[in-house]
Structure 1
C-alpha cells in the first residue's frame, strides 16, 4: 500500500504530518505522492478539498483519510493526537471504504471557446459581480423558471451542509444520489416569481443555467473560481465518479451533522 500525506502549511499541521511520516516510515509503509492508494490529509475540510482537486483524475484508484488539527472538520474523522492509532489502521488496511456522490460541471462560453469541465465535492455557485443576476433555469432540458437575485447554489449531498445550508437549503443524506439547487436572495414579487425554495433532482436529470448577460459572472467550484470570461451556460449533474474514504471508523453522516451544528453534550 502506498500513502500520500497532504498537509496545509500551518505549524500544527506540519508537526502532525512529520509525526505521521516518521511513523509510517518506521512501519515500512511506502510514501508516494504521485501514485498513492490512500491520501491522508492533515488540516481541515479546506485541506481535504484541496487534496480532492489535486487528485481528482485518480478518484477511482484512491481513498481519503482526514486528520483535523483545528476545529472539528466535517470530512475529517481523526484528531491530531491520534496519529499512532491511524498508523495502525493503515498498516492493517483491508480496503474497506465508503463513497459519496460528486457534482460534474460543464461550462459553455459565449465567445465560442472550448467548454470547461470540473468536479465539485461540496458545491458550485454562480453569481453576478455586481447587481442582480438574471438567468433561465432548465431541468432535464425543459424550461423551469427565470431567476432574478444574487445567485444560485448547486450542491452535492455532503455539500448540502456547507454554503447550501447557509442560504436555506436542505441537509441531504449522501445515500441519496441527487443534486440540490438553492436560491441566493431571489427576487419574488408581483412581477418576478421563482420557486422560492430548494429543489432536489435525481441522478438521471440535470440542471442547466443560462445567464441573460454572459459577462460579469463569477462561477465557483468548491474553492476554485472562473471569472472574467463570458459564460453562456452551466450544466450540472451527478458525476460518474465518486469520492471514497477509508472506512476505518468513518463517522455516520448524521453524527457529523449533529457534531458540527448542534454539539450536544453526551450524557
Structure 2
C-alpha cells in the first residue's frame, strides 16, 4: 500500500509529519506522494481541502485520513498524539471506506470560455461591491431574481461550513443533494426572494446568471475566480465522491454534535 502525506507548514504539523514518515518506513509501508492509495492530511480541515484539490484527478483510487493539530477538525478523525494507533490501522488496512457527495460546478464566461470545478464543501458567487442581481434557474425554469450579497451552494458535508453561518440547514451526509442558501438577501415590499434555503435533488440543477457581468467573485472551497466576466454558473450533485479510510471514521451526526454542541447526557451535567 502506498501512502502520501499532505501537511501544512505549522510547527506541530511538521513534527507529526516527520513522525509519520519514520513510522511508516519502520512498518515497511511505501511512501508515495505522487500516486498514493491513502493520503494522510496533517493540520485541519483547510489542509484536507487543499489535499482534496491536489489529488482531485485521483479520487477514484485515493482514500483520505485526517490528523488534526489544531482546535477543531470536522473531517479529521485522528489527533496528533495518536500516530502509533493510526500506523497500526494502516498496517492492517483491508480497504474499508466511507464516501461523501461532491459538487459539480460549470462556469460560462462572457467570451464563450467554459470551466469546470469540483467542490468538497461549497461554492459561493458574490458581487465585489454593491448588490448582486442574478436570475436563478432551477432545472432551466426561472425561479427568482435574487438581490443581495450573494448565494452559497453546498454539499451535505459542506452544509456544516459557510452554509450553516448563512442560516442554511445541516443536511445528512447520506443524502445526494445540493443546498442553495442566500447571503444577506434583500426582502421588502419592492424586492422579494424566497428567503429560505433550497435543497435540490440529484436529478435537478441550479443555474445562476448575474445581471451585471463585472465585479463578480466566485469561490470553490478555497479557490477563487475573480476579474472575469461570469455569464452563468451551473451547480449539480457530482457523480464523483470523496472516500475516507474507515478505520474509525466518526458518524456524521456524532461529528456535528461534537463540533457544534458538545452535548453530554443529563446525568453527566
Superposition TM-score tier, normalisation by shorter sequence: over 0.9
> Match of 1:43?
43
Does residue 179 in structure 1 map to residue 192 in structure 2? no
> Match of 1:221?
220
Mapping of 1:173-212 within 5 angstroms? 173-212=172-211
Shift of 1:264: 2.7
Instruction: Spell out, residue by residue over 1:207-244, the C-alpha distance to the aligned partner (whole angstroms, 9 max, x if none).
Output: 00000011100000000000000000000000111000
Q: Secondary structure at the match of 1:210?
A: strand
For 2:71 and 2:20, how far apart are their aligned partners in 1?
Answer: 19
Shift of 1:190: 1.3
Mapping of 1:162-177 within 5 angstroms? 162-177=161-176
For 1:264 and 1:20, how far apart are their aligned partners in 2?
Answer: 33
Does residue 117 in structure 1 map to residue 116 in structure 2? yes
> Match of 1:256?
255
TM-score by length of 1: 0.99
Does residue 19 in structure 1 map to residue 15 in structure 2? no
Instruction: Spell out, residue by residue over 1:100-135, the C-alpha distance to the aligned partner (whole angstroms, 9 max, x if none).
Output: 0000101100122x2110000000000000000000
> Match of 2:78?
78
Structure 1 segments of 4+ aligned residues over 3 angstroms from their partners: none
**Cα-Cα RMSD:** 0.7
> Match of 1:88?
88
For 1:21 and 1:204, how far apart are their aligned partners in 2?
Answer: 44
Q: Secondary structure at the match of 2:4?
A: strand
Q: Extract unaligned runs of 5+ from structure 2.
A: none
Mapping of 1:82-161 within 5 angstroms? 82-112=82-112, 114-161=113-160
> Match of 1:30?
30
Shift of 1:265: 4.3
Q: Secondary structure at the match of 2:28?
A: coil
Aligned length: 266
Instruction: Spell out, residue by residue over 1:231-267, the C-alpha distance to the aligned partner (whole angstroms, 9 max, x if none).
Output: 0000000011100000000000011111110113463
> Match of 1:4?
4
For 1:151 and 1:70, how far apart are their aligned partners in 2?
Answer: 30
For 1:39 and 1:213, how far apart are their aligned partners in 2?
Answer: 42
Instruction: Spell out, residue by residue over 1:130-170, the C-alpha distance to the aligned partner (whole angstroms, 9 max, x if none).
Output: 00000000001111000000000000000000000000000
For 2:201 and 2:243, how far apart are their aligned partners in 1?
Answer: 21
For 2:180 and 2:244, how far apart are their aligned partners in 1?
Answer: 25
Shift of 1:72: 2.3
For 2:237 and 2:200, how far apart are their aligned partners in 1?
Answer: 9
> Match of 1:240?
239
For 1:124 and 1:74, how far apart are their aligned partners in 2?
Answer: 18
For 2:60 and 2:26, how far apart are their aligned partners in 1?
Answer: 28
For 2:69 and 2:208, how far apart are their aligned partners in 1?
Answer: 38
Q: Secondary structure at the match of 1:24?
A: helix
For 2:70 and 2:92, how far apart are their aligned partners in 1?
Answer: 27
For 2:236 and 2:159, how far apart are their aligned partners in 1?
Answer: 15
For 2:100 and 2:161, how far apart are their aligned partners in 1?
Answer: 15
Shift of 1:189: 1.1
